[in-house]
Amino acid sequence: MDFSFTEEQLMIQDVARRIAQEKIAPSAEDHDRSGEFPLENIRLLGENGLMGIEVPGEYGGAAMDPIAYVLAMIEIAKGDAAHSTIMSVNNSLFCNGILTHGSEAQKQEYVRAIAEGREIGAFALTEPQSGSDATAMRCRAVKQADGSFRINGKKSWITSGPVAKYFVLFAMTDPDKGARGITAFLIDGDRAGFHRGKTEPKLGIRASATCEIEFADYVAQPEDVLGEEGHGFKIAMSVLDAGRIGIASQAIGIGRAAYEATLAYVKERKAFGQPIGAFQMTQAKIADMKCKLDAAFLLTLRAAWLKGQGKKFTTEAAVAKLTASEAAMWITHQALQIHGGMGYSKEMPIERYFRDAKITEIYEGTSEIQRLVIARHETGLR
């Protein structure tokens, strides 16, 4: 097994690290406090190929592989989790779905603008009443005599919803067929019938704008259908597999940021005449942090490698996402505990890492859903 990275992979990692350290990290506290969407930084990510890492060059992307995506995501998440959330949605949920299932015209119209950072993309699956039960959606797309679809309904918790130009939407076109009656659409947020709700006040990733969106007689043309009619649920599930690699990478980045800050702190902070890093209980926490981070990183690389090889990676992505997100939550918790009162203070970024880590256990499928995915694959039982 080869654990080395290519020159191209290391190059984009270096680009991501430089932007994260020079632009993102210095502004992270202000963005977290204000909740302001970091549009200038997102444009910069796009200009450097980070909003379409796996997008072919003919569609404005960096034409790289899933491993490069993992390495870049980790660096951006270390700088600020909110920025990496925006980056993840654009790469994994928006561009990936269209590249896999879209027509040539759709790739040119929708993917290029997102990959180049000129526009923001979003993914609209969740509804107020459905949560993890995606097939219980009430958003309806009724086919008209001329072949168009009239869409009505609401979607909730839409990352980048307040600022996105384009959306991948999932709506029920044949309620009697359940999951097989869901169709995916490409939506233009500037068209009539599309409405944005208030921006949600969140615990963490506060600079990543989130809102509810509503459709009131929005008209989608036949060419706006992504993939085939009735194949929306399959598209959503395959896209979420890729998304889980992105969230696992985000969780690793958050965990690394907390770990590195803690490692420096335990060498400097003294108690009872010696650095607190010399105490065995502190050393045990450091060792466990390191083990969890390494395990999460290797599992995420495995899922990304399988994706890059065109192999099935559903279970491996779930394993990576579950392991990395719970590692991030545990590491940030321990980091805050080790920092004590200073960790609880907003004068240091530790409490932000702690708040940001929690969402990785929720979106792109909760930890409970990941366990179901893994266990059903292992047992063959549903």
For the cut 90, the answer to whether the pLDDT of residue 133 exceeds it is: no
Distance between CA 157 and CA 203 in Å, rounded? Answer: 13
The last residue of a domain, from among 120, 145, 163: 120
Distance between CA 220 and CA 210 in Å, rounded? Answer: 23
In tens, the pLDDT along 359-379 reads: 999 999 999 999 999 999 999
| Structure confidence at residue 136 (pLDDT) | 86
In tens, the pLDDT along 53-65 reads: 999 999 999 999 9
The last residue of a domain, from among 230, 257, 280: 230
Q: Residue 158: name the closest of 149, 148, 150, 168 by CA.
A: 168
> If DSSP codes are grouped into helix, strand and coil, which group holds residue 187?
strand
Q: Is residue 214 part of a domain?
A: yes
For residues 301-315, give the mean pLDDT. 97
- CATH number reported for the structural domain that contains residue 209 in this entry: 2.40.110.10
Cβ neighbourhood burial of 192 (10 Å; 0-12, 13-18, 19+)? exposed
Q: Is residue 1 part of a domain?
A: no
Q: Is residue 107 part of a domain?
A: yes
User: pLDDT grade, residue 132 (50/70/90)?
Assistant: confident
Same domain, 67 and 166: no
* pTM of the predicted protein model: 0.96
Same domain, 221 and 239: no
In the numeric block, which tokens belong to residue 188? 């233009």
In the numeric block, which tokens belong to residue 15? 């680009």
Same domain, 128 and 197: yes
Same domain, 367 and 307: yes
Distance between CA 375 and CA 160 in Å, rounded? Answer: 32
Q: Is residue 131 part of a domain?
A: yes
Same domain, 130 and 223: yes
Domain housing 100: 7-120
What residue type is 29 in one-letter code?
E
For the cut 70, the answer to whether the pLDDT of residue 153 exceeds it is: yes
Same domain, 114 and 219: no
* Total number of domains in the chain: 3
- CATH number reported for the structural domain that contains residue 85 in this entry: 1.10.540.10
Same domain, 90 and 183: no
The last residue of a domain, from among 92, 120, 148: 120
Same domain, 30 and 146: no
Q: Is residue 22 part of a domain?
A: yes
| Structure confidence at residue 1 (pLDDT) | 63
Same domain, 110 and 133: no
Q: Residue 325: name the closest of 362, 287, 374, 371 by CA.
A: 362
Q: Is residue 2 part of a domain?
A: no
The catalytic residues are 364
Q: Is residue 68 part of a domain?
A: yes
- CATH number reported for the structural domain that contains residue 269 in this entry: 1.20.140.10
Q: Is residue 365 part of a domain?
A: yes
User: What percentage of residues in the chain have a pLDDT greater than 70?
Assistant: 100
In tens, the pLDDT along 240-285 reads: 999 999 999 999 999 999 999 999 999 999 999 999 999 999 999 9
Same domain, 372 and 237: yes
Same domain, 160 and 189: yes
Same domain, 284 and 160: no
DSSP for 302-336 reads HHHHHHHTT---HHHHHHHHHHHHHHHHHHHHHHH
